Amino acid sequence: ATVPQHILVTGGAGFIGANFAHWVARNHPETHITVLDALTYAGKRENLDGISPDQLTFVHGDICDAALVESLLDRAPSPTSAQPPIDAIVHFAAESHNDNSILDASPFLKTNATGTYVLLEAARRHDLRFHHISTDEVYGDLALDDPHKFTEHSPYNPSSPYSASKAASDHLVRAWHRTYGLRATISNCSNNYGPYQHVEKFIPRQITNILAGIRPKLYGQGLAVRDWINVEDHCSAIWTILVRGRIGETYLVGANGEHSNIDVLRMILERMGRSPDDFDHVNDRPGGDVRYAIDATKIETELGWHPRFTDFETGLDRTIDWYRAHQDWWMPDKAATEEKYREQGH
Ligand code: NAD
Ligand code: DAU
């Protein structure tokens, strides 16, 4: 196991990247963190507040900017510098929302595909360890009654512009490993929930709708199933793969958390003291995936990783509490997000 001394975390001001930076700060104070983030609508610098400035360097910039990326990596070890040179890249930066990708795919292709290419080339030049964060959506969807789950052998079959752009990025990482010997790993994870998730996503949208006096919005009949994982468990899986994963391998990450959307919505309503029918049905997502489900046997048996926060209802309560306590964090995004959804009939 090689613990990196200095990681470049792309997209570290977004939902999972920020949770990961906090996780590393809490568990590995010996590892310096440089966050590179473009602060799109989905990123906030303040998501990193609380991490000691001794451990964190924040760089505001775009992963597609090859000169900027090169300037961060091009540093020989120096006895006078406070930090060792970057020795690993943990790549979260992406356009992440399916509904946005249906309206306009171009930033998805730019950031998810071209941005990943820029980082791979930089990692290759500097012979860095590279861990790529990806999604189970690259495998398409499963029927509700399919007894199988996704495994590392499932065929790529993405449905949306977002998942197609993530599939493209996975293929680039695999090609850079095979062709150039880049020391890369990939994780494909299921749906995360927890603090700092943008109000455009399903769980935070419904919690903040209730807090803001708006009726929750369910796509279609709400029968689609997502496999929920607490973001803390995703963070520990990423660290495990970064430090102990076999080079060139893909690991699926999930926590056996399958629930239909209508069940999740009713759990939120109940936990927030509302009637279980106090919501609106709205337009379904065009081409929306029916079900995702992860078989995490490989990471569990090979690397000994196990999820810890598997009580979904307790996790939902903590998440509700977080959004209640952080109205200043989400309120500025709420009206514009709802207006965009209204235009789409969502
Ligand atoms: P997010 O949208 O909350 O955050 C993305 C971050 O990337 C933001 O801070 C944004 O400013 C930054 N960013 C976007 N374009 C950039 C660019 N060109 N240069 C630099 N920074 C840029 O996303 P998230 O939900 O935290 O997802 C993070 C990663 O995890 C993505 O790669 C996503 O595909 C993957 N993933 C997400 C989930 C999930 O449930 N949210 C599950 C599996 C995998
Ligand atoms: O599976 C991993 C993926 O999970 C990640 O790769 C994506 O980045 C992440 O956004 C997430 O994608 P989903 O499309 O599954 O998540 P979303 O929160 O957008 O929607 C979850 C389900 O809830 C989906 O079936 C659509 C539905 N939905 C969504 C919203 C926003 C609603 O019913 N109502 C809503 O208001």
Q: Write the pLDDT tens digit of every residue in 201-233.
A: 999 999 999 999 999 999 999 999 999 999 999
Q: Write the pLDDT tens digit of every residue in 318-334.
A: 999 999 999 999 999 99
The pLDDT of 90-112, averaged and rounded, is: 98
Q: Is 127 a known active-site residue?
A: no
Instruction: Report if residue 10 sits inside a domain.
Output: yes
For the CA of 99, the nearest atom of ligand 2: 19
For the CA of 216, the nearest atom of ligand 2: 36
Quote the pLDDT of residue 131.
99
Q: Is 137 a known active-site residue?
A: yes
Out of 62, 87, 95, 136, pick the active-site residue: 136
Instruction: Report if residue 344 sits inside a domain.
Output: no
Task: List the domain range (segments joined by +) for residue 133.
Answer: 6-198+228-258+291-311
pLDDT band per the 50, 70, 90 thresholds, residue 238: very high
Instruction: Report if residue 212 sits inside a domain.
Output: no
Identify which ligand lies nearest to the alpha carbon of 219: 2
Instruction: Collect contacts of 136-140 with beta carbons under 8 A, ≥24 apart.
Output: 136/188, 136/189, 136/190, 136/227, 136/252, 136/254, 136/292, 136/294, 137/98, 137/162, 137/163, 137/166, 137/289, 137/292, 138/163, 138/166, 138/167, 138/170, 138/188, 139/188, 139/292, 140/289
Cα(294)–Cα(158) distance, integer angstroms: 15
Take atom 31 of ligand 2 and give the residue whose Cα is closest.
202
- Ligand 1 pocket: which of 39, 92, 188 to mutate (most atoms <8 Å of CB)? 92
Complex ipTM: 0.99
Instruction: Report if residue 234 sits inside a domain.
Output: yes
Out of 62, 87, 137, 258, pick the active-site residue: 137
Q: Looking at the whole model, is its pTM more than 0.95?
A: yes
Does residue 97 line the site of ligand 2, with CB under 6 A?
yes
pLDDT at 2 over 90: no
Instruction: Report if residue 31 sits inside a domain.
Output: yes
DSSP string, 61-83: --TT-HHHHHHHH-----TTSSS
Take atom 8 of ligand 2 and give the residue whose Cα is closest.
96
Does residue 224 line the site of ligand 2, with CB under 6 A?
yes
Instruction: Report if residue 134 sits inside a domain.
Output: yes
Instruction: Report if residue 219 sits inside a domain.
Output: no
The pLDDT of 40-66, averaged and rounded, is: 98
Does residue 96 line the site of ligand 2, with CB under 6 A?
yes
CATH code, 233: 3.40.50.720
What is the distance in A from the centroid of ligand 2 to the CA of 69?
A: 31
Instruction: Report if residue 217 sits inside a domain.
Output: no
**Count of structural domains, the chain:** 1
The closest alpha carbon to 289, from 94, 143, 95, 170, belongs to: 143
What is the distance in A from the centroid of ligand 2 to the CA of 163?
A: 12
- Residue ranges lining ligand 1, Cβ < 6 Å: 10-11, 13-17, 36-40, 42-43, 62-64, 92-96, 111, 115, 133-135, 166, 189, 191-192, 198
Q: Give the contacts of 188 (CB within 8 A, at least 6 positions apart).
A: 134, 135, 136, 138, 139, 150, 170, 250, 251, 252, 253, 294
Q: Mean pLDDT in the chain? A: 97
